[in-house]
Amino acid sequence: MPEGDTLARTAAGLRPWLVGRPVLAARAGGLGAVPRVERVLGATVTAVESVGKNLVILFDNGLELRTHLRMHGSWHRYRPGERWRRPPARARFVLEVEGSVAVCFDAPVVELFEQRAQTLHPSLSALGPDLLAEGVDIDEAVRRLRAPARAAMPIGEALLDQRVLAGIGNEVKNEALWQAACSPWTPVGALDDATLSRLVELGRDILREGAATGRRPRHVYHRSGRPCPRCGSIVRMAHQGSDLPRQAYWCPGCQGTGPQG
């Protein structure tokens, strides 16, 4: 599943093929296709960045393409004429420059807007600190976790809230909580500042490792029924959250209690 580190690697993979090149062709497809894509024709790509779990492409005419990949979206780069690895009908956005065709498949969110509107853009402006950004403000993420509305929220849900911090997905969340020996069901308000800082720092470090190596440490994720590598208790899994329940993997031996206390 795309988390912040996956997006950073995707951006790094596309950047050398796109940046500095004028757009020769652009097409949008799928439900809610981007209107008036011809606005990017002739514009030069100036940057390809990951912002949390968004992949953003900037153009020198002030336009910005934002894609959020959620569970199944991905960006591929092909040579002109090369056969695509997913059906063309699933392409949400296609960008052609000299020597390359960049295709975004299956992304639920694809938007093209003016950069100066970004501060007004509801989802990007609301994002918490991007954990993969240089010099990310850990204290700001902790301040956002401390918002009164989140005091009763289980930490396993709060860490996935991109308005608190941007980049952590379900796998990194589970690993950070295991490394900190913290139960996903502990309410945020019951954790001290040092623990919250540590969780945010662990999330950042796991994402950095993933961005650098393409691999993430995995001590409990997808390991339910198997012994905890730290204490030998059996790792468990339960669903957490009401809107979009996510799988929480944890060790009752060293992380503590589960959903029923």
Residues that bind Zn ion (CB under 5 A): 228, 230-231, 233, 251, 253-254
The nearer residue to Zn ion, 32 or 232, going by C-beta atoms, is: 232
Q: CB 181 → Zn ion: shortest distance, Å?
A: 8
The nearer residue to Zn ion, 11 or 251, going by C-beta atoms, is: 251
Q: Is 2 a catalytic residue?
A: yes
**Burial 187-207, CB ≥16 within 10 A → b, else e:** ebeebeeebbebbbbbbbebb
Annotated catalytic residue, options 39, 90, 163, 246: 246
Q: CB 252 → Zn ion: shortest distance, Å?
A: 8
Query: What is the CB neighbour count within 10 angstroms for residue 97?
Result: 20
Hey, is 179 helix, strand or coil?
Answer: helix
- The residue with its CB nearest to Zn ion is 228
Closest CA to 10 of 18, 85, 45: 18
The nearer residue to Zn ion, 144 or 236, going by C-beta atoms, is: 236
Q: Is 216 a catalytic residue?
A: no
Question: Per DSSP, what are the bridge partners of residue 49?
Answer: 56
The nearer residue to Zn ion, 39 or 230, going by C-beta atoms, is: 230
Q: Is 223 a catalytic residue?
A: no
Q: Is 3 a catalytic residue?
A: yes
Q: Using CA atoms, how far apart are residues 86 and 136, in angstroms rounded to an integer?
A: 35
Q: Using CA atoms, how far apart are residues 155 and 173, in angstroms rounded to an integer?
A: 9
Q: CB 179 → Zn ion: shortest distance, Å?
A: 11
Residues that are catalytic: 2-3, 53, 246
